[in-house]
Structure 1
């Protein structure tokens, strides 16, 4: 079975954020991811990882004003300078924390807007170059419009085309099984076709985004397929526990 990373934004919410690292390690995880580390000094996060014996799998670039509904800056041409500053901040954090991957959110914009399209492609290229200079990978993720209405990157084929056409060796696809199923289904076929482009995978059950194995998909068959396809990265557990986090980890213990 693949290696799993606990998503500390969604999991272990019974604890304060800085205490979730030890909680994840105690539950048997060897790696973690989360949305954003920027409320805390990078050195503090690095220390928590070290104390818990954990690896960092991934975190996101700053998204703008999350509380006001912003979900990234890349597709917003009027925010170009702010976006570039956010790339620098993420890389500074990534260097200290030791992350192999950064996820770049696209923002709320029409995918049919030529200005947004141009801004996004330019942003992806800029961020991939900047991250690559530090030996860090960059991933982009299609997100479904039910969970995030108006999100610019809402199509897997478009994401794959952008990655292929830009041609940066450190630019990959973040394939979220939950989002794929909500958007288009056909999860196994898409994984098989897109595996050469995939840099990170996330999982949650559909439709309630709870523990794997509790929804409409055969999540365990999908996980076995990842092994067959030779996927070697982490699978981020980006799900909302149905109850207390550790009480819902039988799915992982029984693999």
Structure 2
């Protein structure tokens, strides 16, 4: 299921769930949930959007998870209340399909990011997401230069405030026509911009579908990857034995690069107990350093 469609349907299943999750900070087996914290764990809120955000933050606190992804400015005060870090901010983008590769969106995007970047810094956060947008008949070479032209207008502000703009990589199955759909294109964009304040959000699920060879990509291009998302392939579900990726090895590869950012779980839960599924994912990714 696509991120842009999920929020529209998730609310239909929210009735009757809130009371159960309000006390989910102490699920069965809580005392056995012990993390090593070699990985800086996070989770994408939209995957658990049927749980009231405040209840979900309470649960994260109980689990010892101190970060959450894809939260905008209006909810940052709530994160502050529960001492949860926003490891990937949003709110400046127009949409996943209307992005920096198209000059007709540059004026609005520059305005949006100029407004949000100082807010991210003031809140004590670092990462702000962005998207390439869809091709719509445009060549990748033209779109690449368009991204450079547009993003160059906000990079001085990002650098001034210590904010890292991160463009997410998507696959063509879930997001047909999206331009930033492979590591090489994204890496070339990073190289042309030439700023440590522009990175790629390497979504492991998306890139396993699109190009595979995940560990080699991490080993080769890790200087350009500023953040990671997880999910199982196929189906974007749990990262357990039902899927083809072996996440402990992937996490060790990430650690071996010296990465100190966040890895956020972004899978659609199929388990009856959503918090148990999340705990299981954290434990699978909570590897030892080699």
SS at match of 2:155: helix
The CA deviation at 1:178 is: 0.8
The CA deviation at 1:212 is: 2.0
Find the counterpart in structure 2 of residue 215 from structure 1.
243
Match of 2:281 among 248, 251, 254: 251
Matches within 5 A, 1:234-249: 234-243=262-271, 244-248=273-277, 249=279
Which segment is superposed worse, 241-250 or 231-240? 241-250
Match of 1:4 among 41, 48, 70: 41
Q: Residues 92 and 18 (structure 1 numbering): CA distance in 2 closer, same or farther, change over 3 Å?
A: farther
Work out the CA distance in 1 between the residues paired with 2:210 and 2:91.
Answer: 24
Work out the CA distance in 2 between the residues paired with 1:63 and 1:47.
Answer: 20
Per-residue deviation, residues 33-63 of structure 1 (Å, max 9, x unmatched): 11x52xxxx3x52321122121111123533
Work out the CA distance in 1 between the residues paired with 2:61 and 2:97.
Answer: 29
Which runs of 5 or more structure 2 residues have no equivalent in the other structure? Answer: 1-37
Find the counterpart in structure 2 of residue 45 from structure 1.
75
The CA deviation at 1:147 is: 0.9
Find the counterpart in structure 1 of residue 227 from structure 2.
200
Match of 1:30 among 37, 60, 66: 66
Kept in 2: contact 1:111–1:152 (CA 8 A): no
Work out the CA distance in 2 between the residues paired with 1:29 and 1:94.
Answer: 21
Matches within 5 A, 1:47-196: 47-64=77-94, 66=95, 71-109=97-135, 110=137, 112=139, 115-196=142-223
Match of 2:253 among 220, 225, 240: 225
Work out the CA distance in 1 between the residues paired with 2:199 and 2:46.
Answer: 22
Kept in 2: contact 1:137–1:172 (CA 8 A): yes
The CA deviation at 1:6 is: 1.3
Q: Residues 113 and 186 (structure 1 numbering): CA distance in 2 closer, same or farther, change over 3 Å?
A: closer
Indicate the RMSD between aligned Cα atoms, in angstroms. 2.1
Kept in 2: contact 1:63–1:71 (CA 8 A): no
| Aligned residue pair count | 244
The CA deviation at 1:96 is: 4.0
The CA deviation at 1:92 is: 4.1
SS at match of 2:236: coil
Q: Residues 253 and 142 (structure 1 numbering): CA distance in 2 closer, same or farther, change over 3 Å?
A: closer
Kept in 1: contact 2:98–2:105 (CA 8 A): no
The CA deviation at 1:236 is: 1.2
Q: TM-score normalized by structure 1? A: 0.86
The CA deviation at 1:79 is: 1.9
The structure with more radius of gyration = 2
SS at match of 1:133: helix
